[in-house]
Amino acid sequence: MNEKASILIVDDEEVVRHSHLRSLADTGCYTETAEDGHKALHVMEQHPFDVVLLDLSMPGLDGMDVLKTIKNRWPECEVVVITGYPTIESAKEAVRLGANNYIAKPVGPDDVIKAANEAMTQKRWAMRSASRTTH
């Protein structure tokens, strides 16, 4: 994975946040966590991230609202939804709102790394494509 990649992990469960952090520890990425949607958006305002690993079911501002806001304000950010309550409807909605991927919990370390790598690959392709169309 690109050493300069930055990944924000958003989940209301502390054990999940720490598990994802451990999974990404050896990738060379800058990682940060947020325990809810409001904090996630605050952190994004301070430092827009390349990739967000986002839980859907959180108190307060739910994951779909966070996804919609991120894609509206930071369209270049790739969002991977990781949910413990997957449904066909929420998967369709997440993709419609711009999610890069939709994954059902539980996820292992390899799943987290793979999802982050795929999201960064997509981001790089999008950036290359955008730079070609502007030149």
Question: Is position 88 within any domain?
Answer: yes
Number of domains the chain is built from: 1
Question: Is position 38 within any domain?
Answer: yes
Q: Are 67 and 95 in contact (CB under 8 A)?
A: no
Instruction: Show the domain range for 26.
Output: 6-134
Residue with tokens 């392709």: 125
pTM: 0.92
Question: Is position 28 within any domain?
Answer: yes
The Cα–Cα gap between 73 and 24 comes to 25
| CATH code of 90's domain | 3.40.50.2300
Range list of H helices, the chain: 14-24, 37-46, 63-73, 88-96, 109-134
Question: Is position 1 within any domain?
Answer: no
Question: Is position 12 within any domain?
Answer: yes
Question: Is position 99 within any domain?
Answer: yes
- Pick from 5, 132, 9: nearest CA to 81: 9
Write out pLDDT tens, residues 49-104: 999 999 999 999 999 999 999 999 999 999 999 999 999 999 999 999 999 999 99
The Cα–Cα gap between 112 and 133 comes to 32
